[in-house]
Amino acid sequence: MAIPSPQAPTAVVMVRPHHFTINTQTAVDNAFQRDVSESADHAACAYQEITRAAEMLRDLGVGVHLFEDAGTDTPDAVFPNNWFSTHAGGHIAIYPMKAPNRRKERRTDIIEMLKRQYRVQDVIDYSGLEPDGLFLEGTGSMVLDHIDRVAYAVKSDRTNPVALERFCTHFNFEPIVFPAEDAKGVPVYHTNVLMCVATDFAMIGTDLMVGPEGWQKVVRRLEQSGRDVIALDRGQIARFAGNAIELQGRDGRILALSRTAHAALTCEQIARIEASVKIAALDIPTIEMAGGSVRCTLAGIHLAPRD
């Protein structure tokens, strides 16, 4: 087995939706969402997609803590990585969310499970920043390099610089903020649809980055960390090729992404990825209608188990 990497958690939290639908409160600034009506078929498909994805990850040796969401007022509960994150040393962060209905996704039972099964020293709750309009939507807003301690963040209404600076001070990350837009000039709403940082490589939608200064700052920083930087074009980003996460499986590290994303990659890009990880392509097309993909459905656990 490959040497474990701080970048690749061995376990994740997933939330299985029972009444999946599209969140109208987030459609204003999430260009990845599709305008579809509420449907029992969509709900059933989303339930099965998360079920199969969890099974596939478990088969690969990734620990999966699967929680149920039977509510009807939390349409984005399937994306738990936005409201909390975990960090080596026993730390948990809870985040301020822009959409009012997304604030209902925060669950004490998930935090209590983490405290029971892992070594947790403290929980830092930033949700009190919401009344002041200061938002930071977890590892959607930030793509964290746990090895070099860098927090990459696209400028958006969901990533407030004050909240970002506060998080980086508490958790010892260097913030690198840059602008990014789609072909219509709409700012990218979350950083994790634009880029993925793994142990030995990084994937990033360089075509969406605005201005040479931001491009040079991000790409050079990634290259300085010794990573192979794989550039993704606009079409690949639109198909969620940047929305991936490296995990530690039973037989080595894997890159979890969607079948949609995998199909968008070139043979040359796949070869560069597979030089260090095995690709796990999860089939979640219904979930992707909500504007997020595999990375968004997985909240990585960077905590030490109690056993």
> CB under 8 Å to 264, separation ≥6 — which residues?
235, 236, 239, 240, 241
**pLDDT over 90 at 215, yes or no:** no
Band (pLDDT 50/70/90 cuts) for residue 28 is very low
Distance CA 158, CA 154 (A): 9
Q: Which segment of 71-75, 279-283, 300-304 scores lowest on mean pLDDT?
A: 71-75
- pTM of the model as a whole: 0.93
pLDDT for residue 31: 47
pLDDT for residue 36: 52
- Higher per-residue pLDDT: 182 or 292: 292
**pLDDT over 90 at 299, yes or no:** yes
pLDDT for residue 110: 98
- Higher per-residue pLDDT: 193 or 211: 193
**pLDDT over 50 at 149, yes or no:** yes
pLDDT in tens, 159-203: 999 999 999 999 999 999 999 998 888 889 899 999 999 999 999
Distance CA 71, CA 23 (A): 13
Would you mind telling me the total number of residues written for the chain in this entry? 307
Mean pLDDT across the chain = 92
Closest CA to 13 of 144, 126, 113: 113
Distance CA 76, CA 13 (A): 15
